[in-house]
Amino acid sequence: MAHPLEGRLAAYIAGRMPLATGVAVTDLERISGGASRETYRFRLAWTEGGEARQRKLILRRDPPASLIDTERRVEFEAYRAFRGSAVPVPEMLWLEEASEALDHPFFVAEEIAGFQASPQVLLSGAYDAVLPKIATRKWTILGEIAKADPAAAGLTSFMDAPPLDACWSRELDHWEALIDRDEAEPLPVTRAAIRWLRANPPPPAQKLSVVHGDYRTGNFLYDEAGDIHGVLDWEMCHLGDPLEDLGWSLQPIWSFGSGRVGGLCTEAEAVAAWEAASGLKADPTALKWWTLFNCVKGQGIWVGSAAAFNSGGNRAPIMIYPAWWLINAQERAMLKVMGKL
């Protein structure tokens, strides 16, 4: 049975491909996950210059209420900025910010098909032989993101550029405000962590960097040889301190219980790969601050997902699971980073 979005999406794309005839969308199916955007894969077929063509594409559409509220243009432009660089990303095709075509804003992108993203599969044992290679690639790519010049990448037109000494307070203010708004029950460890972060601010950023915002195992596409073919989920991308992304990648939640950072390697190995690629230094004291901050940020996301469910804005099970599974685990992660556990 055809998905109800297929005809509407085909009509939209036909309007963007003036040289194409017979534009058709088939095999549209929703991909699991996608708590901040509804993600679908589909096959686009059309005729152009007398030749029949096909392409596998991705549709990312805003949901009624999201785990993370962000502008889809920011995500779209972030992908475009890194296209053709040392950071592998899919090609962006069309961005639609109005709601008429598919009820909510969306964008369409190339599907990088044939690779895995699942952390569970990666850490199942089947990939153990290539985990060191994936680890080096993962933090090398993150170093490349940190090294990039946001202005040269064209991103300063779409993202605020905070002063170097205000990167930390801007982010902490943002996530603390979301926790104030969304927490459904008191979070004593999170509140203690926020007090510690404010009492012990980090030094100014070494440079203004592109911050992916959700760079973790699970948000890149890998293969059995240990190569990484695509970095995904740029919806929280912004400009800030390069240590912010490194801290998110190292925060204990993303160990998936393995005891290794990102489930992949030691922290020292990850930091060494990042430093080699970025040409930057990860001062241990500053990195501790950013790792703990990212525990607070994670908590902001998990309590936000519970709030979206409780308000009725989004009743999907994906909104419940992070809240049930991760809120207490995130407090334990904070205790660990603070040396209390």
Partner 1 sequence: MNPPVPNVLAELAGLLVKNAMPGVPEAERASDLGLSAALLGVAAEMWDRQAHILVEENRAVRALLGEPGEDADLRLSVLQAENDRLRGALVVAHAAAEATGDTARQDAIWAELVAATDRRRLSTAPV
| Span interacting with partner 1, options 48-56, 75-83, 137-145, 306-314, rule CB under 8 A | 306-314
CA–CA gap between residue 105 and residue 87 (Å, rounded): 26
Handedness of CA 195, 200, 205, 209 (dihedral sign): negative
- Residue among 258, 263, 330, 251 nearest 291 (CA): 251
Residue type, 206: Q
- Per rule CB under 8 A, is residue 161 in the interface with partner 1? no
What region, left, alpha or beta, does residue 16 occupy, with left being phi > 0 and alpha being psi -120 to 50 degrees? alpha
Residue type, 245: D
H or E stretch including 250? Answer: helix 242-250
- Per rule CB under 8 A, is residue 195 in the interface with partner 1? yes
HSE-CB for 218 with a 13 A CA cutoff: 16
Among 14, 20, 30, 153, binds partner 1 (CB under 8 A): 30
| Span interacting with partner 1, options 84-92, 130-138, 282-290, 305-313, rule CB under 8 A | 305-313
Based on CB atoms, which residue is closest to partner 1, 147 or 216?
216
Based on CB atoms, which residue is closest to partner 1, 147 or 260?
260
Among 3, 8, 43, 229, binds partner 1 (CB under 8 A): 3
CA dist 228 → 7, 32, 136, 194 (Å): 34, 21, 10, 35
| Span interacting with partner 1, options 15-23, 159-167, 185-193, 238-246, rule CB under 8 A | 185-193
Among 22, 31, 48, 216, binds partner 1 (CB under 8 A): 31
CA–CA gap between residue 26 and residue 318 (Å, rounded): 26
User: Residue 266 is encoded by which pair of tokens?
Assistant: 């030691």
Based on CB atoms, which residue is closest to partner 1, 183 or 244?
183
- Per rule CB under 8 A, is residue 331 in the interface with partner 1? yes
Q: How far is CA 124 from the centre of its chain?
A: 22
Count of positions on this chain that bind partner 1 (CB under 8 A): 45
User: Residue 258 is encoded by which pair of tokens?
Assistant: 């393995």
Compute the least distance from the CB of residue 247 to partner 1, in Å.
16
Among 20, 130, 272, 335, binds partner 1 (CB under 8 A): 335
Compute the least distance from the CB of residue 264 to partner 1, in Å.
14
Handedness of CA 92, 96, 97, 101 (dihedral sign): negative
Q: Scanning residues 240 to 269, which ones bind partner 1 (CB under 8 A)? A: 252-257
The binding site for partner 1 (CB under 8 A) comprises: 1, 3, 29-33, 184-189, 191-192, 195, 252-257, 306, 309-310, 315, 317-318, 320-321, 323-333, 335-336, 340-341
